[in-house]
Amino acid sequence: MPTDKLLLDSVRDYIVQIREEGMDGLPTTQRPIVIDKPTSSVAAPPAQAVASVALFSKYPGLEKTDDLPALQTFIGNCTRCKLHGGRTNLVFGVGDPTAELMFVGEGPGADEDAKGEPFVGRAGQLLTDIIERGMGMQRAEVYICNVVKCRPPGNRNPETDEVESCEPFLLRQIEIVKPRVIVGLGTFAVQSVLKVKTPISKLRGNWHEVRGIKMMPTFHPAYLLRNPSDKRLVWSDIQEVMRFLGRQIPGRARP
Ligand code: SF4
């Protein structure tokens, strides 16, 4: 039997089972995922439910982590992909666990690996400027994390198997924090999260959706350090985010 068919069959069985137990959503204590009522006995489960079941089945117990400390404990001293071998620190994420705004980057660089905190090098300082000088917010008011939690050697892009291993943790972070908006930073992070190959130059400036949450792709701060003339595009994207959040756009010069 093809793998896809097996997966769909097991998902369908699982959904039938939890319905029989009187539940109308998948068992997560935060933001239950409501399952549409079937129109027939062979109705396929919604794509979101399939994705969530696949997410939870990859790491049983992940769905029970209902706050960030619990998720961090679950991840532990992770060796689930080969990136663990080169890291100094696992870089989980930082910020307000109830933030309405989340920034997602690609993965830790050397400074982040050394400190165990995302976006603390030169690019991180620029991101902090965007948040504090540009948006008039405090860095501690937002939540910042990456697609992969361990530094890829030589700052290479994370490989497919590494993203697949780490992605459930990012998706769970999103489910726990429940931001109103995610800002995706850079080609890799945005393409990984949205599952597309479209260039960032075409994705940025337009709203997308990740697990029911609005996502605004924009350029990575490291790219802006090399191409400062594109700061105006990022500022335009950030203003769009500010408008969506109903926040006043500071009248002073952009970062
Ligand atoms: S990158 Fe993610 S999956 Fe890989 S070892 Fe680090 S925490 Fe684990």
Q: Which amino acid is residue 236, in one-letter code?
A: S
Q: Is the CB of 80 under 6 A from ligand 1?
A: yes
Instruction: Determine the atom of ligand 1 nearest the C-alpha atom of 148.
Output: 1
pLDDT exceeds 80 at position 10 = no
Per-residue pLDDT at 57? 77
Q: Do 102 and 171 form a contact (C-beta atoms < 8 A)?
A: no
Q: Are 159 and 118 in contact (CB under 8 A)?
A: no
Kindly indicate the confidence band of residue 1, based on its pLDDT and cuts at 50, 70 and 90.
very low
Res. 52 pLDDT band, cuts 50 70 90: low
CA 140 / ligand 1 centre spacing (Å): 24
215 has a pLDDT exceeding 50: yes
| Shortest-distance atom of ligand 1 to CA 165 | 3
Q: Is the CB of 62 under 6 A from ligand 1?
A: no
Q: Which structure tokens are listed for 182?
A: 């995610």
* 39 vs 50: which has the higher pLDDT: 50
Q: What is the pLDDT of residue 252?
A: 55
Write down the pLDDT at residue 28: 38
pLDDT for the residue numbered 244: 97
Place of tokens 């989340």: 102
What is the residue type of 227?
N
The pLDDT tens digits of the residues spanning 20-33 come to 333 333 433 333 33
Q: Cβ(170) to ligand 1 under 6 A?
A: no
| Residue 36 banded pLDDT, cuts 50, 70, 90 | very low
Q: Which of 139, 232, 247, 202 is nearest to 194 (CA)?
A: 202
CA-based diameter of the chain, in Å?
62
Burial 223-235 (b: 16+ CB within 10 A, else e): bbeeeeeebebbb
For the stretch 114-173, pLDDT in tens is 999 999 999 999 999 999 999 999 999 999 999 999 999 998 999 999 999 999 999 999
> 56-88: buried (b, 16+ CB within 10 Å) or exposed (e) per residue?
beebeebbebeebeebbebbeebebbebeeebe
Ligand 1 pocket mutation, candidates 59, 72, 80, criterion most atoms within 8 A of CB = 80
What are the two backbone dihedrals, phi and then psi, of residue 6, each rounded to the nearest 5 degrees? -60, -45
Query: pTM here?
Result: 0.80
The residue behind tokens 């980057």 is: 105
Cα 222 to Cα 58, 140, 188, 218, distances in angstroms: 32, 21, 12, 12
Question: Residue 83: CB within 6 Å of ligand 1?
Answer: yes
Ligand 1 pocket test: which of 59, 65, 78 has the largest number of ligand atoms within 8 Å of its C-beta? Answer: 78
- Least confident range of 23-37, 93-107, 238-252: 23-37
